[in-house]
Each structure stands twice: as C-alpha cells, then as structure tokens.
Chains A and B, each alone.
Chain A
Amino acid sequence: AQRVTQPEKLLSVFKGAPVELKCNYSYSGSPELFWYVQYSRQRLQLLLRHISRESIKGFTADLNKGETSFHLKKPFAQEEDSAMYYCALRRNSGNTPLVFGKGTRLSVIA
C-alpha cells in the first residue's frame, strides 16, 4: 500500500524567509511524486512533479529515494504563496490514482 505523510498541518513563515514543506512516502515500487496547491477558494492545481525536475513559482522539490522524501522548498517566501499544499504519489504504471497526504497550510506573514 502507498502512503504519503505530511507531518506539519500548519507552517507559518515571514515574507522573504525560506520555506520547506515536508513530505515522506512509503511505497515499495517506483513512485511518481507531485505537489498540488490549493489557493483560497480555488481548485487543486498541479504545482510540480518530480519527473520534470522543474521550478515553478520559485518552488523546487527533489525526490530522495534513500530517505523516501519529496520536500518542497522555496528560498524566499512571498505572501501569495499562502495556500494549502498537498503532496501526492502515483504508482508508476497504467491508469493509477493519486494518493494524497493530509496537506500543509502555508501562511506567509508580511
């Protein structure tokens, strides 16, 4: 079975401070990892995925298979980053669903 753990329900940081949202997973196979973001009153939207190794809105995330982690990082937080962030995993085969963590609410304080 797959599991995604986001240990922090709420993370508050000051504007300009670095951000790290933690995500750990358990899955015996080769997973695909994602970060989804949900801004206030908006839908869930894909922020980034590990296979593309991209930086979106200044956020990056590196898959660490040894530590089974996929932490989301940003060097300088902005107020508009305040949102709910969900880490998700998908089995790397066929039409498989996403398994989500419980989410972390990021609050960036001016």
Chain B
Amino acid sequence: EPEVTQTPSHQVTQMGQEVILRCVPISNHLYFYWYRQILGQKVEFLVSFYNNEISEKSEIFDDQFSVERPDGSNFTLKIRSTKLEDSAMYFCASRSRESQETQYFGPGTRLLVL
C-alpha cells in the first residue's frame, strides 16, 4: 500500500539555522498538508497546498515558514531561521481529489533546535 514518506526522521539544528523538511506524498494525491506537534501538545495545522499554491495557513505559519513543490514528487517545508520553539514533530499529509475526508500522514520528522 502506498505511503507518505518523510526525510529526515530526525534533525538537530542550531538556533538561527535554516532547515528543510522533505515529504513525498502518495503519488496520485493532489492536496498536501503540514502539521506539527510540540512535545506534550496537540497536533496543529500549519499549511495546506494545492495546485502549486497555499490554500490555507495557520497563525503559526509566519514569514519564517515556506512550502514548495519543487518537482513532481517532493513537498518541502522550509524554516528560514529556526527558533527554540520550533522544536517539534512535523507531519506531512496528503489526500486525493476523490477522498475529501481522508488525509494520509507521514511518519514525521522530529526537529530539535538547540
């Protein structure tokens, strides 16, 4: 069964550094999402993406964040200048056009900002 994949599984970075988190959605999916979960807190929506543009973004998704679909398979989340509070588990999700309800999640990237 096809799955969403994410790389890396873990990343440690210094405060102020840029990080890029990568996701490969399921191949026929057209809608993509990023969520994050700070340790001990709820999963929070960051941004949704469709047809090469952002559909919706949350208050968390400020100017330090950007998303891109650089080719036909990858979907990336970039944090330009990381802060300590960006430390979290970042989940990518995708869904097909036909299934409005079901989002399929990747295994997550654990980001630690020191």
Q: Which of A's residues lie within 8 Å of B, judged by CB?
A: 32, 34, 36, 42-46, 49, 51, 86, 90, 94-103
Report the separation of the CA atoms of residues A102 and B106 in the bound assembly, to the nearest whole angstrom: 19
With an 8 Å Cβ cutoff, the count of chain B residues facing the other chain is 25
Q: In the complex, which of the residues A49, A97, A101 contacts B33, with contact meaning CB atoms closer than 8 Å?
A: A97
Q: Nearest A residue to B46 by beta-carbon distance?
A: A97
Q: Nearest B residue to A93 by beta-carbon distance?
A: B100
Q: Which of B's residues lie within 8 Å of A, judged by CB?
A: 3-4, 31, 33, 35, 41-45, 48, 50, 55-56, 58, 91, 100-108
Q: Do A90 and B45 touch across chains, with their CB atoms under 8 A apart?
A: no
Instruction: Say yes or no: A97-B56 contact (C-beta < 8 A), given A43-B105, A90-B101.
Output: yes
Among A32, A44, A46, A101, which residue has the most Cβ atoms of chain B within 10 A?
A44
Q: Nearest B residue to A52 by beta-carbon distance?
A: B101
Q: In the complex, which of the residues B48, B91, B108 contacts A95, with contact meaning CB atoms closer than 8 Å?
A: B48
**Chain B: minimal CB distance from A26 (Å):** 15
Report the separation of the CA atoms of residues A49 and B99 in the bound assembly, to the nearest whole angstrom: 12
Q: Do B45 and A98 touch across chains, with their CB atoms under 8 A apart?
A: yes
Q: Please, which residues of chain B bring their CB within 8 A of the CB of A42?
A: 107
Q: Do B48 and A100 touch across chains, with their CB atoms under 8 A apart?
A: no
Q: Please, which residues of chain A bring their CB within 8 A of the CB of B48?
A: 95-97
Q: Do B101 and A100 touch across chains, with their CB atoms under 8 A apart?
A: no
Q: Do A95 and B101 touch across chains, with their CB atoms under 8 A apart?
A: no
Q: Nearest A residue to B47 by beta-carbon distance?
A: A97
Q: In the complex, which of the residues A32, A44, A86, A102 contacts B101, with contact meaning CB atoms closer than 8 Å?
A: A32
Q: In the complex, which of the residues A49, A86, A101 contacts B102, with contact meaning CB atoms closer than 8 Å?
A: A49
Q: Do A51 and B33 touch across chains, with their CB atoms under 8 A apart?
A: no
Q: Please, which residues of chain B bring their CB within 8 A of the CB of A95?
A: 31, 48, 50, 55-56, 100
Q: Do B56 and A100 touch across chains, with their CB atoms under 8 A apart?
A: no
**Chain A: minimal CB distance from B41 (Å):** 7
Report the separation of the CA atoms of residues A98 and B42 in the bound assembly, to the nearest whole angstrom: 12
Q: Nearest B residue to A32 by beta-carbon distance?
A: B101
Report the separation of the CA atoms of residues A34 and B93 in the bound assembly, to the nearest whole angstrom: 15
Q: Do A103 and B42 touch across chains, with their CB atoms under 8 A apart?
A: yes
11 A–B pairs (Cβ distance < 8 Å), ordered by A: A42-B107, A43-B106, A43-B107, A44-B91, A46-B102, A49-B101, A94-B55, A95-B48, A95-B55, A99-B45, A102-B41
